[in-house]
Chain A
Amino acid sequence: MAITRINIGPVHPSTHGVIRLVADIDGDTVVNLEPHIGFLHRGVEKLVETRMYMQSPPYMEKLDYVAPMSYDEAYVAAVEKAMGVEVKERAMWVRTILLELQRIASHLLWLGTMANDVGQFFTVFMWCFKDRDLILRLLEEASGARMFYVNMRIGGLIRDLPPGFDDRARETLNYMEKRIGEYEDFLEKNPIFIERMRGVGVMNRDKAIELGVTGPVLRGSGVSYDVRKDNPYYVYDKLNFEPQARSEGDCFARYKVRMLEMRESIKLVKDALSKMPGGDALGMQVRLILPSAKNREVTLSREMPRGECMMYMVADPQKPYRLSIRSPSFINLAALNEIAKGCRTADIFAIMGSLDLVMGDADR
Chain B
Amino acid sequence: MSDLNTIVSTYLGVSGILAEIIGIVAYAVAVSILIVAFDYVFGWVERKTIAKIQKRHGPTYAGKYGILQNMADFVKLLSKEHVVPKRADKLLFLPTIPAMLALSVFLIFLIPLTPELIETNIGLGLLVILVLLSFMPLIIFANGFGSGNKFAAISAQRSVVMLLSYEIPLVFVIAAVGVLANGYTLSGIMSAQNHWWFVFLMPIGFFVFFIVMLAELERPPFDMREADNELIAGWLTDVSAPYYTLALFLDYTRMFLGSLLIAILFFGGWNGPVLPPVVWLLLKVFIISFFIMIVRATTVRMRIDRLLRFGWTWLLPLSLLNLILIYLLFIG
Contact = CB atoms under 8 A, between A and B. Distances in A.
Are A and B interaction partners?
yes
Interface residues of A, number: 33
Contact of A346 (B54, B150, B157, B227): B227
Interface in A128-151: 130
Nearest to B306: A195
B302 A117 contact: no
A342 to B, nearest CB: 13
A274 interface: no
Interface residues of B, number: 30
A220 B77 CA distance: 45
Nearest to B301: A119
A24 to B, nearest CB: 12
A349 B56 CA distance: 26
Given A4-B150, A14-B229, A192-B221, A118 B301 contact: yes
A349 B303 CA distance: 11
Contact of B227 (A4, A115, A119, A122): A119
B299 A192 contact: yes
B228 interface: yes
A123 B221 contact: no
Interface in A26-85: 28
A9 to B, nearest CB: 10
B300 A196 contact: yes
Q: Is the interface of A mostly helix, strand, loop or mixed?
A: helix
A183 interface: no
B232 A28 contact: no
A126 B150 contact: no
Contacts of A346: 224, 227, 230, 301, 303-304
Nearest to B233: A13
Contacts of A127: 54-55
B146 interface: no
Contacts of B50: 121-123
Contacts of A130: 55
Interface string A340-354: 000011111100000
B1 interface: no
A6 B55 contact: no
A190 B299 contact: yes
B54 A126 contact: yes
B296 interface: yes
Contacts of B304: 28, 344, 346
B229 A28 contact: no
Given A12-B232, A14-B230, A195-B306, A119 B221 contact: yes
A186 interface: yes
Contacts of B300: 115, 118-120, 187, 190, 192-193, 196
A43 B297 CA distance: 41
A192 B54 contact: no
Given A190-B299, A190-B300, A119 B56 contact: no
B223 interface: yes
B229 A13 contact: yes
Contacts of B268: none
Given A120-B300, A127-B54, A346-B304, 12 more contacts: A4-B154, A25-B154, A116-B229, A119-B301, A122-B50, A126-B54, A127-B55, A186-B298, A192-B299, A192-B300, A192-B302, A349-B229
8 contacts: A28-B157, A119-B221, A119-B229, A119-B230, A122-B297, A346-B224, A346-B303, A347-B303
Interface of A: 4, 6, 12-14, 25, 28, 115-123, 125-127, 130, 186-187, 190, 192-193, 195-196, 344-349
